[in-house]
Structure 1
Amino acid sequence: MIDLKLIRDDAAAFDAALARRGIATLSADILAKDSRRRSVLTELQTLQARRNEASKEIGQLKRQGGDAEALMAEVADIKDRLAALEAEEKALGEELDSILAGIPNLPAADVPDGKDETQNVEVRRWGNPRNFAFQPKEHFDIGEGLGMMDFEAAAKLSGARFVVLRKHLARLERALAAFMLDIHTLEFGYTETQVPYMVRDHVLYGTGQLPKFGEDLFRTTNDYWLIPTAEVPLTNLAADSILDERELPLRFTAYSPCFRSEAGAAGKDTRGMIRQHQFTKVELVSIAHPERSDAEHERMTQAAQTVLERLELPYRTVVLCTGDMGFGARKTFDIEVWLPGQNTYREISSCSNCGDFQARRMKARFRPEGEKSTRFVHTLNGSGLAVGRTMVAILENYQNEDGSVTVPKALQPYLGGMEVIARDA
């Protein structure tokens, strides 16, 4: 949620920031409605004061035996006017809230300008893509060849964009999640958390998925929403709270299923596990001090990168341009893993600093030490990593010509010492 005071104080800067996202000027309409609402509030206060004063005068006149009819008529008129003004103020407030709720976060000053993903800027690269002595396959051909990745069975159960994993690939997914959680909890100090997978409207509003992106979500018949990512419940753990400054940063991680309708994704990644309605992910969330959120952002990104480095998977990290950033982010790093089957880098993690954008929606604050007033926290989230996509990367980067897959050394203890995943004889 954008701070209305920010727009009042510097409308030109607000419009310029939105223009970087390709959004037309909004401040004039917002300020006109805000000005009218403030005028209404002033008139309400004036009329309420006059009503109270007139009521006292009526009482005095009646005690003195005087005629209070004119004053009583005035109070009745004021009552009618107050009712009309209160209705107008409520409507203006709701309209302003609706407008502000639909405005994306303002990009940080150091975010590059650009229209789409082609204008993202690479900031680092790690590892060298493997030179294959054979034509590398894509993950779905490898998984189906192993007899452990079944899209047909999933389609019978649920339709397109689902998968059934069996045997060693099912175990590999579980092992990857444990591997990631151990790195994030033991080395980076995140608190492992189990969260609900169904939430109410206000929770998704707090992190910015509602009201604008409801079509991207799945909703139950009794008004629960299936979470699109554990970011949603994890971040909302700080909602409606006033934290002590010494508690910051709070760092949470959770392994959970994620559910997405993939609205607008028709024709994209129709085969395989890249884009599914249901997938698992290890999520990272930080609730940080505003003055330290940039450093926390770098730290979170490093935690996600560490997983890929331990698995010896080549990757690159890019900072998203203004035209490719998510709704709630003020700055985002995307980590893209090398997929030899596709001969390209594909996103495996997005790490975003949302500033106080979500905190304002959630009313998540902290009290600086020695002060009575409160400030909004900064919230950050990132994938640490998407488990299915990490499996995809392992299958493609560690594939062998005979169709088997070598298990990365760091992962072998999580698979009982297994060194190679091969089709059962």
Structure 2
Amino acid sequence: MSSASDDDTLWDIERDLSFLIATDDQLQAELKQVCDLLGSSGSSGDSDDTEAAAEDKGHSRKRKPNVAPAGARNTYQTRQKQEMLELQRQVHALKQQLDATKLQVALQRDLGEWETAARVELYAKKKALEENELLRESTHHNSLFITKMQSLLRKKPRLTMAYDPSSEEWQAYKLAAHASLRIAGIQAIADRQYSRLQTSFINAGIWDRQDNLFCVRPRRDATSVYIEVVHHLKLEAPFHLFGPVVWQLMNGEHPAPLPLGAQRAIENVDADTAYEMYDETTHGFTGHCNTIFKQYAEATRHVVLWRTVLDDALVSCPGDVEDESAWIVFKADRTNPNQCYMTFLLHAAADPSLFAEVATAPGGAPPSPTIDDVLECLAKLSVEAMPDGLGMHPTPERDVVFDGLPLSLTTFIRKGKRFERHLASAINATVKEFHHQNK
């Protein structure tokens, strides 16, 4: 057998060593049974001693007195139970590491785009199901705890996982005032945004797309108006040139110009993470946009993303707050190293209750616009794609009339259009510079 064949063969440890390692379900059941036994024996320890003492009274030989300190037995059993719980946590952590390792090994193979995406989505689904199961177990244990407290029992519930007290805050896109919790929340929000990239691209129909696409898709549900902006095109320059250029637009080195009445402050958390606090006042209205930016430089692509924060404990926001998330991906062209694909996907949400502010304006203002009026206006924001072969980003030139729309909505849209022009200018300058250097 050749060495090349040996190198290509992957050792499935879980399959080959199954006779040594118990299955996860079997191990979890056994650990749970031992914990239950320890708990029941610990609670009945005192009664057992009392019964044994009563039986000894009828015999001539008396049992030697127990010289162990009071509560020693219960302390030992409690320690055993804690060790079992720790083993359960370690088994769960090792199982997650095994799944992640399997995914990494699978992704290192020469797979197609869709097969790779399917494996990642399957891993994400499995992880979500495991987290859901842990939440159900924790809910069950907490309900048992409440029941036992109501019956005046002191036994504490057996928790299966420890929660970060600030986790619910960042999951609701809120930042705490404490420095360490604040930085942890910024990183957690950015990383969760990164984990949603592939699913969002697939849902938008732009995953592994080849042809150019420029569109604005206004959407709505029962409570919100959603705007989905898509820019996908091929650029005539290598992908690694664009990531640093776009990141300079985010970290404050080359930001978009500010209009009158606007101000910004940018905090660089680290070399790849930034936090911008932006507010703009127009005709008495003040809009706030506090945004987390982060970049991910990878082997075949460069990702720049952002997500707005809805509530910052250190920033007073006596106006409307923008709710927006976006991804920009520069991905290498497998057929030509001097070309790449740029994909820009933005999701923005607006509360329909904001539209009523026009109806309350003084001076006989026109009636409040409906959601359909807003969607019709937003549909005009799309830019036309350049002809194939130019390899540059089109510069938006279409003027959109915002008369009759709420100031909150127009303020955020105009801000987005200014950034779009600034982004297109930076990308096109990079393409021109690359071709100038390679003449």
Asked whether the two chains share a fold, i.e. TM above 0.5, the reply is no
Q: Which of the two has higher C-alpha Rg?
A: 2
| TM-score with structure 2 setting the length | 0.29
